[in-house]
A = this chain, B = another copy of it.
Amino acid sequence: MSKKIFDIIKSDLADLETALQEAVKSPVDTITDIGNHLVKAGGKRLRPAMFFLAARCSANFNLERVMPLAVALELIHMASLVHDDVLDSAATRRGEETANAKWGNQLAILAGDYLFAKAFVLVTENGYGERVNNQLSRLLADLSAGELIQNKEIYRASCDIEEYYERIAMKTANFLAISCQLGGHVMGLPEKEVQALYDYGYCVGMAFQLTDDLLDLTGDSKTIGKPAGNDILQGIITLPAIRALETSPDREELLSIVTNRHMTKADLDRALELVRATDGIEFTRKKVEEYLDRARGVLPETIPEDVRTAYVMAADFVAGRKF
């Protein structure tokens, strides 16, 4: 995200990097090595950022108190990416070698398991209460189930719009929602504000994933780090393609390509052409705007002005992002 949005939590995020490096230290050298590699590979740190902003809604904000939970959120995200990269046999992420490319699938799977566990170790030893522990475990269950649904449906194009929304809610929106919610909860904000922060995170999360899915179709490899159409190539049908399958005059041709595990580059280009000829991309852009409008609208009146500004800018950033 742009530096400006992050000004209010800039030092929180700087401290997060140190805390992440601390958290992946293990008596087992390979775990420390994999962990350090993952931390250094970076990322948007969107979940901890949303979490810190929510915690900063409280006048009693205490960085030391919230840090272990911020680390746990990022570790869960990191571990799920490690497993994702194994599933996809991905060689790079954000221009860096993936854990599976560098250490092999076996160690990558186990390192992912370890990082999930480490997230729970951190949270359960810092006395946030069982409600927080429970929410974090539900989050991981939903995340895994969402990924599982997506993987089960590859090359099937069987997903309708409602199922798609449910899937990205489980995978992404729910995670951002809980990140916001926990920030408010741990700092003792009133339940109504906590709920509003949850709703904000949910809407931004939906918009974020929709934008991800759009960029996969409209971005170029330089900005998004992978060639356009990667989702279709991997058999994943996202909203623009689902919409195109509903409205395209060449529906049958599109369907035969996206359900073909052995599609060629020419097939893929043709599929992209067919999707772009429909209103699928425009339809998805509108959905992004709808979610972001809702996100801006649900922000409680009572939160500090600087946090509100940051949250509004975060929503603007999601709308405009190119990577």
Chain A residues proximal to chain B, CB less than 8 Å: 26-28, 30-31, 80, 83, 86-87, 105-107, 109-114, 116-118, 120-121, 123-125, 127, 129-130, 133-134, 136-138, 140-141, 143-145, 147-149, 151-152
The 3 closest A-B pairs by CB, nearest first: A120-B137, A117-B140, A117-B141
A134 neighbours in B (Cβ, 8 Å): 121, 124-125
A156 to chain B: closest CB distance in Å? 12
Q: Is the CB of A145 within 8 A of B87?
A: no
List the number of copies, as a whole number: 2
A144 neighbours in B (Cβ, 8 Å): 110-111, 113-114, 117
A151 neighbours in B (Cβ, 8 Å): 106-107, 110
Give A248 to B107 CA distance when docked, in angstroms. Answer: 32
Give A107 to B149 CA distance when docked, in angstroms. Answer: 9
Nearest residue (CB) in B for A104 is: B151
Q: Is the CB of A140 within 8 A of B113?
A: yes
A129 neighbours in B (Cβ, 8 Å): 130
Instruction: Specify which of A31, A86, A114, A117 lies most central, judged by the most chain B CB atoms within 10 Å of its CB.
Output: A117
Q: Is the CB of B145 within 8 A of A26?
A: yes
Give A107 to B141 CA distance when docked, in angstroms. Answer: 14
A105 to chain B: closest CB distance in Å? 8
Q: Is the CB of A114 within 8 A of B148?
A: yes
Q: Is the CB of A28 within 8 A of B149?
A: yes
Instruction: Specify which of A105, A107, A141, A143 lies most central, judged by the most chain B CB atoms within 10 Å of its CB.
Output: A141
Give A141 to B114 CA distance when docked, in angstroms. Answer: 5
Give A112 to B145 CA distance when docked, in angstroms. Answer: 10
With contact pairs A87-B109, A113-B140 given, residues A120 and B145 touching in the complex (Cβ less than 8 Å): no
Known pairs A30-B148, A107-B152, A113-B147; list 12 more (Cβ under 8 Å).
A27-B145, A28-B145, A30-B152, A86-B109, A106-B151, A113-B143, A114-B141, A116-B117, A117-B137, A117-B141, A118-B137, A121-B138
A145 neighbours in B (Cβ, 8 Å): 26-28, 31, 110, 114
A171 to chain B: closest CB distance in Å? 11
Q: Is the CB of A148 within 8 A of B87?
A: no
A159 to chain B: closest CB distance in Å? 13
Cβ contact of A140, chosen from B27, B80, B116, cutoff 8 A: B116
A89 to chain B: closest CB distance in Å? 10
Give A292 to B27 CA distance when docked, in angstroms. Answer: 29
Q: Is the CB of B83 within 8 A of A109?
A: yes
Nearest residue (CB) in B for A131 is: B124
Q: Is the CB of B26 within 8 A of A110?
A: no
Give A88 to B143 CA distance when docked, in angstroms. Answer: 25
A88 to chain B: closest CB distance in Å? 9
27 A-B pairs within 8 Å (CB atoms) are namely: A27-B145, A28-B148, A30-B148, A30-B149, A31-B145, A31-B148, A83-B110, A86-B109, A107-B148, A109-B109, A110-B145, A110-B147, A110-B151, A112-B113, A113-B113, A113-B140, A113-B143, A118-B137, A118-B141, A120-B120, A120-B133, A121-B134, A121-B141, A125-B134, A129-B130, A130-B130, A133-B133
